Structure 1
Amino acid sequence: MSKINESDKPKMSQKDTVSNEQSNPNVLDVLLGKNEQKIVDFDSMILETQKRIWGALKQGYEYVGITDDSEKFLRKNVFAKFDMIALYVDLVGSTTMTLELPEEKLAIIISSFAQEMASVINLHNGYVLKFVGDAVIGYFVASNNGLLAADNALSCAKSMLAVIQKGINPILNQYDYPDLMVKIGADFGQSIVVRYGSNPDVSHVDLMGPAMNIASKIQSLAKPNQILFGDDVYRKLHPNNQILFKEVVWKNNEWKYRSRLSGEIYKVYEYIG
């Protein structure tokens, strides 16, 4: 996004679970924007997740303001172009759950999952673009600081796994429901804000660009609970985070997409922690 005024984005309801780094940054961290990265209090995040999941299963808890900030941002910047990181998170095994669970319980689980993922995106200074079936699409504006956006996207992806494994699944297990697993993919590139219709207030707004498409393709090839980043995102990560990844070696022509710049097969990296 071009210059973003923080006042344009609503304050996060989870702000009490986020704190700035307290350690003194070195020169490299300052240059890379590492000192601006947010640290999530995982214990508080997990506790709040469990409270909401309990509420959803017992009385259909409804979440508030999940996509409002994105809607406002996009409408304010129709036809503008922004460097951004697109992140896709998709629920694994929802077809099996459809066959095994009552419709009303399935709806609550998938809805709660999607909204918890959206909550994690907001917590990490990202925007929630939309829900597509049992997938959630988020984005992190990188026009001002691509390095910070990349690190925030990685922290977001890791938090998603933590929320599912330590927050959602323990509650589902108590009801004998199956564990949830996800596939996460992300890519970096320029996207344009588009509006479908002439009414600035109600016409549908969306994002269009190569990063949105490639992130979707990357996510589709991820394994359960695997985080995959495209090369353009990987190159923007802080060096301390880059060493936590390894390049994916594709077999049997699983991956055919080529770099728009070099023409070579576009590299994808797996987070190994």
Structure 2
Amino acid sequence: MASQCKKLTVLFSDIVEFTTMTERLESEELTSLLNQYLTEMSEIVLRYGGILDKFIGDAVVVHFGDAADGASAQESAISCVQMALAMRARMSKLRESWREQGLDASIDLRIGINTGFCTVGNFGSDQRMDFTIIGSEVNLAARMEASADAGGLLLAHETNALVKGAILTEPAGAVTVKGFVRPLETYSVLGTREAHALSDHSAAVTFVKDPSRMASLEKKRARNELKQAMQGLND
């Protein structure tokens, strides 16, 4: 198949401190945990219509925009971010399950997403070929992931511009990444605007989270929500 240049939204995700975790687990435990995680993430990718490009150890690479459904760049970007939110939510449940099995429950995801023109095609040798994506925009998605905090979901500027009507984000500052001369503006995903609107119309708030079981980003979001709620009650 001849290579083509297409506008795609690309997602990279990995497990924070996965290398450190491998040193504490027996090979059977590690294999079971990783296979369960990759299976769960793959099911979410398929549910949202993404193309699972590859696994790189614990990392997952997915892209949107190359499917035959005729989705626009905006629709593809929104689907990708919605999928990423579902992946993050599922990771939270997996963490609880692993805690009950006596495994390290502090592990978390970090995710980076970028939109841009990528080369899609078969790459490899005469003995082995892979159908995959390459280009600077793919590299940038990987850099976004590496710049995200534990539990974080970081968007590059163009992706943020495409999804802002459906996804609630906030500026996360500029980052300087390898291979790119200028600092790049990044945006942190807070959730969907629909979910935020529903929570705003709630007449009461019940806080049931156990802080000891929350990732650092979850704690940050909880603190911000509580501050806003207290300010509203004091008005």
What range is the shorter-chain TM-score in?
0.7 to 0.9
| Equivalent residue, structure 2, for 1:7 | none
Please name the residue that 2:176 is paired with: 255
Change (3 A) 1:186 1:197: closer
Task: State which of 67, 72, 78 in structure 2 corresponds to 1:145.
Answer: 72
CA 1:105 to 1:198, structure 2 compared with 1: closer, same or farther past 3 Å? closer
Superposed CA deviations along residues 203-230 of structure 1, whole A, max 9, x for unmatched, are: 3222112221000001001111100010
Aligned twin of 2:27: 103
In the alignment, is residue 157 of structure 1 matched against residue 84 of structure 2?
yes
Any residues of structure 2 matched to 1:22-101 within 5 Å, and which? 78-101=2-25
Question: Structure 1 residues 112, 79: CA separation in 2 closer, same or farther (over 3 Å shift)?
Answer: same
For residues 73-109 of structure 1, give each alpha carbon's deviation from its aligned partner in whole angstroms, at most 9, with x where no partner exists: xxxx531221110000101121222121111111111
Whether the aligned pair in 1 keeps the contact of 2:110 and 2:151 (CA below 8 Å) is yes
Indicate if the aligned counterparts of 2:176 and 2:182 stay in contact, CA closer than 8 A: no
Is 2:46 the partner of 1:125?
no
Structure 1 residue 270 and structure 2 residue 188: aligned? yes
The TM-score with structure 2 as length reference comes to: 0.72
1:96-153 Cα deviation digits (max 9, x unpaired): 2212111111111112212221221111110100000110000011674011111111
The equivalent of 1:191 in structure 2 is 118
Q: What is the CA–CA distance in structure 2 between the aligned matches of 1:126 and 1:222, rounded to whole Å? A: 21
| Structure-2 residue corresponding to 1:26 | none
Going from structure 1 to structure 2, the CA distance change for 1:108 and 1:205 (only over 3 Å counts) comes to same
8 Å CA contact 2:15, 2:59 repeated in 1: yes
* Match 1:115 to one of 18, 26, 39: 39
How many residues are matched? 187
> How far apart are the structure 2 equivalents of 1:86 and 1:195?
17
Structure 1's consecutive aligned runs of 4 or more residues displaced over 4 angstroms after TM superposition are: 256-259
On the 8 A contact 1:90/1:134 being kept in 2, the answer is: yes
2:176 aligns to what SS in structure 1? coil
Q: Which amino acid aligns with 1:211?
A: E
Quickly say closer, same or farther: Cα 1:130–1:181, change in 2 above 3 A.
Answer: same
TM-superposed CA distance for 1:188, in Å, is: 0.4
**More strand by percentage:** 2
Q: Partner residue of 1:237?
A: 163
Equivalent position SS for 2:103: coil
Assess, with a 3 A threshold, how the Cα gap between structure 1 residues 195 and 256 changes in structure 2: closer, same or farther: closer
**1:197 Cα offset (Å):** 5.2
Q: Distance in 2 between matches of 1:126 and 1:100?
A: 33
Structure 1: distance between partners of 2:98 and 2:148: 24
Gaps of 5+ in 2: 192-235
Distance 1:256 1:171, change over 3 A: closer
TM-score normalized with structure 1 length: 0.63
Which is further off, 228-237 or 133-142?
133-142
Q: Which runs of 5+ in 1 are unaligned?
A: 1-76
Contact in 1 for aligned 2:78/2:166 (Cα 8 Å): no
On the 8 A contact 1:84/1:188 being kept in 2, the answer is yes
Query: What's the Cα RMSD here?
Result: 2.4
